[in-house]
Chains A and B, each alone.
Chain A
Amino acid sequence: NAGVTQTPKFRVLKTGQSMTLLCAQDMNHEYMYWYRQDPGMGLRLIHYSVGEGTTAKGEVPDGYNVSRLKKQNFLLGLESAAPSQTSVYFCASSYGLAGGSETQYFGPGTRLLVL
């Protein structure tokens, strides 16, 4: 049982390049989330999903897109990276409201540097 995993662990991009971050969970969780963490600002929600095939905007969605084609995977895309997107990205998952457990389990994080 790997829990929540994220790929890659670290990436350097040039401004304007695109990339996809992959989050995978093997706990059969319904809800999945993408956050970014910047120094002194805590975690901010980018997008989230309450089930396979669903996505919704969080607090800071601009410049990012997501997809949840399979229940166990949640992809975060950057179409044209900007230096302001330099951050640590965390994925999280939970059973959600219907599952009766609110606990969010976080992945190990992806460190992204945009030059």
Chain B
Amino acid sequence: GENVEQHPSTLSVQEGDSAVIKCTYSDSASNYFPWYKQELGKRPQLIIDIRSNVGEKKDQRIAVTLNKTAKHFSLHITETQPEDSAVYFCAASSNFNKFYFGSGTKLNVKP
């Protein structure tokens, strides 16, 4: 099956700095890559996603890049704010059936 690895496990940045979280996947059939944000005690919420036919996608301060050849994708958050502090998960899926999640990155944005 698919194996998704996520790095780093924790990330601490100063408010206003950028944050980058990286994931790799093993199954070349994976074609959908969502990113979720989970605040403490809350449910995961989708923040951005990308399909395999696209190399980059942006939504305001958040962007995701995908390198199919190298089988890795990354989440970029610019101008970080304290409210960005949370755990972020990447995931990979083939045709929206099985989803495989990374182990999560705890982002701490220091004011």
Q: CA of A59 to CA of B49 in the docked complex: distance in angstroms?
A: 22
Give the A-B pair count, Cβ closer than 8 A: 55
Q: Are A43 and B101 in contact (CB under 8 A)?
A: yes
Chain B residues contacting A35 (CB-CB under 8 Å) are: 101
Q: Are A102 and B96 in contact (CB under 8 A)?
A: yes
Q: CA of A109 to CA of B38 in the docked complex: distance in angstroms?
A: 12
Q: CA of A53 to CA of B9 in the docked complex: distance in angstroms?
A: 39
Q: Are A50 and B97 in contact (CB under 8 A)?
A: yes
Q: Are B32 and A41 in contact (CB under 8 A)?
A: no
Q: Are A104 and B97 in contact (CB under 8 A)?
A: no
Q: Are B96 and A94 in contact (CB under 8 A)?
A: yes
CB distance from A114 to the nearest CB of B (A): 20
Residue of B nearest to A98 (CB): B96
Stretch from B39-47, B60-68, B71-79 contacting the other chain: B39-47
Q: What 0/1 readout, one digit per residue, does chain B (16-38) give for beta carbons within 8 Å of chain A?
A: 00000000000000001010000
Chain B residues contacting A109 (CB-CB under 8 Å) are: 43
CB distance from B6 to the nearest CB of A (A): 8
Q: Are B99 and A90 in contact (CB under 8 A)?
A: no
- Kindly state whether residue A115 has any CB partner on chain B within 8 Å: no
CB distance from B4 to the nearest CB of A (A): 8
Q: CA of A44 to CA of B44 in the docked complex: distance in angstroms?
A: 13
Chain A residues contacting B100 (CB-CB under 8 Å) are: 45, 59
Mark out the residues of chain A between 44 and 73 whose CB falls within 8 Å of any chain B CB in the assembled complex.
44-45, 48, 50, 56, 58-59
A-B CB contact pairs (8 Å), 15 listed:
A31-B97, A33-B99, A40-B103, A42-B89, A42-B103, A43-B44, A43-B101, A45-B98, A45-B99, A59-B98, A90-B44, A97-B95, A97-B96, A102-B96, A104-B46
Residues of B within 8 A of A (CB): 1, 6, 9, 32, 34, 42-46, 49, 89, 91, 93, 95-104
Residues of A within 8 A of B (CB): 31, 33, 35, 40-45, 48, 50, 56, 58-59, 90, 94, 96-97, 102-104, 106-109
Q: Which 10 A-B pairs have the closest CB atoms?
A: A42-B101, A106-B43, A43-B101, A42-B103, A102-B96, A42-B104, A106-B44, A97-B96, A103-B46, A108-B43
